């Protein structure tokens, strides 16, 4: 039976490249001249620790980072900006978590969307991926096309297509 997997992954190397390009761009920008800017990437936990002089520079820095990451192939939805930056001493600090892997609630939303499509496919949750199986490849491709239009707040990738 044909099948494919729905995953939500972030390439660690692409994220590292985006952070390095952002650091390089910020050092060349006039509005960040002589400014305190720190961007630390924790590759194991996929967390970014950002530190700047004020909140305006913080928002500009995060926007540049997301723009550069998007050019590296990382979806903007992968960045969890729910935690606002806070002032600590004379610097603003913010922690941006990069979503890597499907959480159980997000996986349930995806499976519900697949069932709402009314196609003859089965979707099963396996840890941090969703396996979709069907009798015809056309049904699977219809699911992929439909999933590209869903706005679930989670970037989805489709891999491991087998016929």
Backbone CA torsion sign across 136, 138, 142, 147? positive
> How many CB atoms lie under 10 A from the CB of residue 55?
14
Among the listed residues 5, 35, 7, the one whose alpha carbon sits nearest the alpha carbon of residue 100:
7
User: pLDDT at position 114, please?
Assistant: 87
User: pLDDT at position 49, please?
Assistant: 93
User: pLDDT at position 14, please?
Assistant: 92
Contact 102, 127 (CB under 8 A): no
User: pLDDT at position 68, please?
Assistant: 94
The 3-class secondary structure across 44-60, one letter per residue, is: CCCEEEEEECCHHHHHH
Question: How do the pLDDT tens digits run along the chain, 163 residues long?
Answer: 888 998 988 889 999 999 999 999 999 989 888 888 999 999 888 899 999 988 888 889 999 999 999 999 999 988 987 787 788 788 889 999 998 888 888 889 888 888 888 888 888 898 888 999 989 888 889 888 888 888 888 888 888 888 7
User: pLDDT at position 19, please?
Assistant: 93
Residue owning tokens 């990069």: 98
User: pLDDT at position 23, please?
Assistant: 92
User: pLDDT at position 102, please?
Assistant: 87
Domains recognised in the chain with CATH numbers: 3-8+102-162 (3.30.70.860), 12-98 (3.30.70.990)
User: pLDDT at position 156, please?
Assistant: 87
């Amino acid at each position: 039976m044909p099948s494919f997997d729905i995953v939500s992954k972030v390439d660690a190397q692409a994220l590292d490249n985006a952070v390095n390009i952002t650091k390089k761009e910020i050092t060349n920008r006039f509005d960040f001249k002589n400014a305190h800017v720190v961007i630390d990437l924790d590759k194991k936990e996929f967390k970014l620790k950002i530190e700047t002089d004020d909140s305006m520079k913080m928002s500009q820095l995060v926007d540049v980072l997301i723009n550069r990451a998007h050019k590296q192939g990382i979806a903007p939805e992968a960045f969890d900006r729910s935690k606002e930056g806070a002032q600590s001493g004379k610097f603003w600090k913010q922690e941006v978590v990069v979503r890597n892997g499907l959480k159980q609630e997000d996986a349930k939303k995806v499976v519900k969307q697949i069932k709402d499509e009314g196609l003859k496919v089965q979707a099963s949750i396996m840890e941090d991926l969703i396996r979709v199986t069907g009798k015809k490849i056309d049904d699977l491709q219809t699911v992929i096309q439909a999933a590209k239009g869903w706005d679930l707040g989670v970037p989805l990738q489709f891999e491991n297509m087998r016929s």
